[in-house]
Amino acid sequence: MRTTLRTPTAALLALAVVAALTTGCEDSPLTAGADFTMSLVAKPGVVMIDPAQGIDSAQTSIVATVLNANGVPQQGIDVFFSNNGGVLGSANKAVKTNNAGIATDVLTVSSSDAAEIEITATSASLTKTITVTKSTTPVNRPPNPGIAASPQHEQASGKPVVFDGSGSSDPDNDDFITMWKWVITSTNPDDPLNNPIVIEGPGTSGLSFPSDTSPAFVNLQDLTVTLLITDDPDAPNQFEAGQPVAYRAQQTIPYRITAVRCEDNTLPTAVIAGADSQQSFGFAGSTVNFLVDGRLSTDPETQIETYTWNCGNGSIALPQGNGSTAICKYTVDQTPRTYPVTLVVTDRGTGNLVNGAYECAAQSVPDTINVTISPLAGSP
């Protein structure tokens, strides 16, 4: 039988090997090899500072890319960024490259910094330096589009719709919006409207349907309404010359044309002009023509279609139907008699004719006055 002798020296040697292996498993910084390459760029290379417009600071991304000798991106390489102005987001601590070999830092430049700031990236023996320029040229900020739809969100078929972009604005005090372009796309377009509807020009800040050039939306449909605007002073000239306009900002809203809901039709209001109690005189046995006036009657959505009068004595007011004013005929009795005169008006509902009648037409609550017909003194 063979016995293996373990000496103290051998044990210590084994422990040293284990310790060395254990130490090798710990994370350690990766550095660029001597044959690696590194590029460095600032995106953007010029930052804009405009204190007059409230822009006192700006940021740019500092991007270092590390490749091996074969041009393969290297991940996990430590890159240190340093600067002689501005503030680095890394605070000069190591930034590791990602799987594309890119390490990114952010430089914040303030209005008090120098016109040029040097940024250096270092990884082992690799070093690159770039310059970031600070510009105080006023920034032409893009305008802010704003669409106001009336009514909001949706409208019933055949009813008026307005898209108003006049609330759009430009944040620069000396600029204004010079061109407007509307693009309206429908899921179920009306004939003869184009799809999309495109309306463009220096004066098209708002659109109305219906209008002199566009009918109302009748089909049930979903609209995508986009407004594009620019503050370029040369844009109107480009448009007149048939050249495309480069719009700087846009907004898009959804809008829906829904089925007509008759309950949404506001009732008209019947109004008979004059006092609640009125009087007329005539000789006993004669006929008195009494004028009633309903022209003060109103409807908030459409015009009034018919006026229905009731003279209160069984006679028919003339004219009947379309007469906002009418004549009630009364026979004068020996003693005064009072008659209730009522008016009911009917509106045009949605304004759409269906089988010869207005869709969703509604009648008003009756308005009533009391008319007293009295004999003249000395009547036979």
pLDDT along the chain (380 residues), means of 10: 41 40 48 91 90 84 95 95 96 95 96 93 95 83 94 91 96 88 97 94 95 92 98 95 95 94 90 97 95 96 92 88 89 96 93 83 96 87
Same domain, 252 and 313: no
pTM of the predicted model as reported, rounded to 2 decimal places: 0.48
Residue 224, pLDDT score: 98
Residue 13, pLDDT score: 39
Q: What domain count does the chain have?
A: 3
Residue 29, pLDDT score: 62
Same domain, 235 and 287: no
Contact in structure between 209 and 176 (CB atoms under 8 Å) = no
Task: Tell me, yes or no, whether 3 lies in a domain.
Answer: no
Same domain, 155 and 200: yes
Task: Tell me, yes or no, whether 103 lies in a domain.
Answer: yes
Closest to 103 in 3D by CA, of 137, 126, 69, 132: 126
Task: Tell me, yes or no, whether 98 lies in a domain.
Answer: yes
Task: Tell me, yes or no, whether 6 lies in a domain.
Answer: no
Same domain, 255 and 153: yes
DSSP state of 315: P
Chosen domain end from 135, 170, 185: 135
Q: Who's near 54: CB < 8 A, 6+ residues apart?
A: none
Chosen domain end from 110, 135, 160: 135
Q: What's the CATH code of the domain at 225?
A: 2.60.40.10
Q: Is the dihedral of CA 211, 213, 216, 221 positive or negative?
A: negative
Closest to 102 in 3D by CA, of 76, 129, 132, 130: 76
**Range(s) of the domain holding residue 309:** 277-375
Residue 25, pLDDT score: 41
Residue 18, pLDDT score: 39
